[in-house]
Structure 1
Amino acid sequence: MFPIKGESALLLAVVFGFVFGWLLQRGKVTNYNVIVNQFRFKDFTVLKVMFPAIIVGGIGVLVLTNMELAKWHVRDANMLGTIIGAVIFGIGMVLYGYCPGTGVAAIGTGSIHALVGAAGMIVGAVLYAFSFEWVRANILSVGKLGKVTLPQLMHVPAWTIYGALIVIAIALFAWVEKSGK
């Protein structure tokens, strides 16, 4: 197997980005109301689209790494940073009505409010960059677990985690279908 580099990698990034955006549009998760109604427990389209994507993607990465066609690039697990980041991300997603990926795809559909929100994401990223040294010293150092994965923390094989996710997904889908949402 040969690594994809240079112009080929850039071209593939554009192709995969386009396909990803197209799939988000086809899955209806570029619609502000669909995402907001997920948080209001009125429309579970986001769950129905993203949960299978996460599971299939995760299993794909696991297979590729087991076949030595890909390598894990594990980042430091910083628990306080993860908690704060998750809270900020969640509040931003509820207020904006999109996650970063669906926001960019919504811009591609002509959504002006998604464009305004993306400008806010850029401002937030710049502020984070300027404050990074303080964040690293005061937030990322708290609850630092090092380069560790969930299976390593739980002392179980990675397939156990994916198996549990599949069971959870099936249970959630059964509940959503039963509730008619």
Structure 2
Amino acid sequence: MVCCTVCIAVKHMSCDGVYYIPNIAKDLLKRQDNYKTKTSLEKVKDALQNLKSKMRDDMEQLSNQRDSILDEIEKYKKDLIRKVEELAKASIKEVQEKYKNIFEGINACSKNIGHILEDADKGLDKLKHSTYKTEAQSFVDMKKGENQVAVGNDCINRSISRQMEALEFESCKTLKSHLLEVHSL
């Protein structure tokens, strides 16, 4: 170890094998230690430069891997989003079709009720003005009215017993919980 005179005086005063550099340098330079050291340093320098070059190559390869993975993640994300959008479109179409079917059923029933109401109004009107008709015509109007009462009661009973269909949405809990559980793609 090469030390300055202050360090030797302060820290290495009690050490054995402390020599004055000019005294020992003559002997070392005479031997071929200088050549060996120079050769060793050149080898180490070359090895370090090769190692640094390899590390530069490793960093470039690592950057390429990162870029490739980031591209892959982006593609995977787009695929997932596209699939979720397809599922949403299919769900929306399902809801629209179910709505249309239920709506058309209710609308048809409502129109039928409207026709029955019109017939009931006409029948009621005929019965109210039966004083101007013959007994036979009044009898016919009364029988038609009874028939309209039966038709109306039947319609009311069917409507009461018919259960209203409802639109419902239940999300896929498995998909959502799985997405919540994972921490990366």
TM-score under structure 1 length normalisation = 0.25
Identify the structure with the greater helix proportion. 2
Q: Per chain length, whose mean CA-contact separation is higher, i.e. which structure has more relative contact order (CA < 8 Å, sep 6+)?
A: 1
TM-score under structure 2 length normalisation = 0.24
Indicate the structure (1 or 2) with the bigger Cα radius of gyration: 2
